[in-house]
Chains A and B, each alone.
Chain A
Amino acid sequence: MQNNDNNATVIRVMLAKIGLDGHDRGIKVVARALRDAGMDVVYTGLHRTPEEVVDAAIQEDVDILGISLLSGAHMHIFPKVLELLKAKEAEDMIVAGGGVIPDDDVKELYQMGVHKILLQDTPPQEIIDSFRQLVADRGAR
């Protein structure tokens, strides 16, 4: 039942805000840009726990879990999310990070297993392109 115009390969993305970080202007702009690029975007709203986000991402079976952090808690939250995904046998989910993250930490996050970090000044088109690339590289699931 292939319908190339309507389904086939719609990329599903969850955009999440975890912890005490009340800034969601950026993530909403990203949500809108991804939608306009034809993706399905599930936004979690503010102040979620890593457990809530991981469980929701698994139920929604998203291709990409994008977490925006402007609170400085990234070195605490990303390992937790990756650990939970592994524990729930969902390590095939692509994890992307965005927001304000220092260069040294970016390096470390990549080593940890975060697939992509897109910092605060990334243009929307670059986010769209890299999300498409990440899903293409992963292959059919």
Chain B
Amino acid sequence: MINRIPSMELAERVREGNLRAIARLITRVESGGDPDVRQALAELYKSTGRAHVVGITGVPGAGKSTLVTQLVHEYRASGRTVGVVAIDPSSPFSGGAILGDRIRMGDLVSDSGVFIRSMATRGTLGGLARPALDAVDLLDAGGFDVVLIETVGVGQDEVDIVRAAHTTVVVNAPGLGDDVQAIKAGVLEIADIHVVSKADRPDSNKTIQELKAMLMMSLEPGKDIWRVPVVPTSSEKHTGFGELMAAIDRHAEHLERSGEITERRRQIALTRVVKVAEEIVRDNFARDSRSQTEELLKKVTQRELDPHGAAVTLLKAMKETIHESH
């Protein structure tokens, strides 16, 4: 048995930038946590809000991890510290996950200005957003200048995570599906910056042109609006990553100058509060009110009660059982 350091004590060390304390608190947050973890996070939340949070998403194989690796190098060269939260899908069968980003990000370790943490999506019960965003808070409180969240852009949960960022980068790769795919994916609208990776490939120009054309269509007239740039990058030729960092910086400046940052912060708060509320409800469903749920389900199947009425009944009962520790 080992000596368990209280979470509040770890929180103090997080503020000092202690990487081990950050790592351990992320673990505790991810594993559901004891009441003292929530308390530590509530305390640390007061020290957050300084980091610029960048969400990076795109279809599998678009080159997100490679891009993150190169981007971290750029930030380090500019003297800034970077935290990375890399999210990989869990197996829907076992709940386990193979977190492979470390392979591509291997050359980034052994630099105390960089912290990389891999996280698994933990199935479909919406358990993803809270720990990942808590991890962002921990890195923010730990003094990292920039925090990158990397996730596969294939589900609502992932989109929500990206919505909790100040700047969202969508990575597109040439040759991955036809033109409509980009529109269908729905990630087009959430991008503040588009990247076309693998720009050394001959078909990348087509992808760049298509994206630009599509962005032109959605452009509303106005003085201080953000014009979504399309940045080609190539890890093969080591080009475009400095430009990408510059574009992210320009977007941050734009948010400040236009005052949009206020609305964005509100949006982030909204996303997070709703996410946690959803999770509390789901959790309660699975735990405290199980016997009552069964009874209600019976009534619903026998047409004594409609689903909406049952839901309202459940939520009313839940009100009594929600504790501070959630």
Contact = CB atoms under 8 A, between A and B. Distances in A.
Contacts of A41: 96-99
A39 interface: yes
B179 to A, nearest CB: 35
A133 interface: no
A17 B131 CA distance: 29
A43 interface: yes
Q: Give the dominant DSSP class at A's interface.
A: loop
A40 B87 CA distance: 12
Interface in B12-54: 19-20, 23-24, 26-27, 30-33, 38
Interface stretch (B121-129, B193-201, B202-210): B121-129
Contacts of B30: 7, 10
A49 B107 CA distance: 10
Contacts, number: 136
Contacts of B264: none
B120 A58 contact: no
Contacts of B286: 3-5
B287 interface: yes
Q: Give the dominant DSSP class at B's interface.
A: mixed
A133 to B, nearest CB: 14
A140 interface: yes
Given A7-B30, A40-B97, A55-B110, A141 B24 contact: yes
Contact of B106 (A40, A44, A139): A44
A31 B103 CA distance: 14
A137 to B, nearest CB: 8
A108 interface: no
B143 to A, nearest CB: 15
B118 A60 contact: yes
B254 interface: no
Interface residues of A, number: 44
Interface in A17-61: 31-32, 34-45, 48-49, 51-52, 55-56, 58-61
A141 B2 contact: yes
A32 B91 CA distance: 11
Given A1-B326, A8-B32, A138-B1, A58 B98 contact: no
| Best-surrounded residue of A1, A34, A59 (most CB of chain B within 10 A) | A1
Interface of B: 1-2, 4, 19-20, 23-24, 26-27, 30-33, 38, 90-91, 93-100, 102-104, 106, 109-110, 115-118, 120, 122-123, 125, 127, 130-131, 279-280, 283, 286-287, 325-326
Lowest 7 A-B CB distances belong to which pairs?
A45-B103, A35-B96, A61-B23, A139-B1, A61-B27, A55-B109, A38-B96
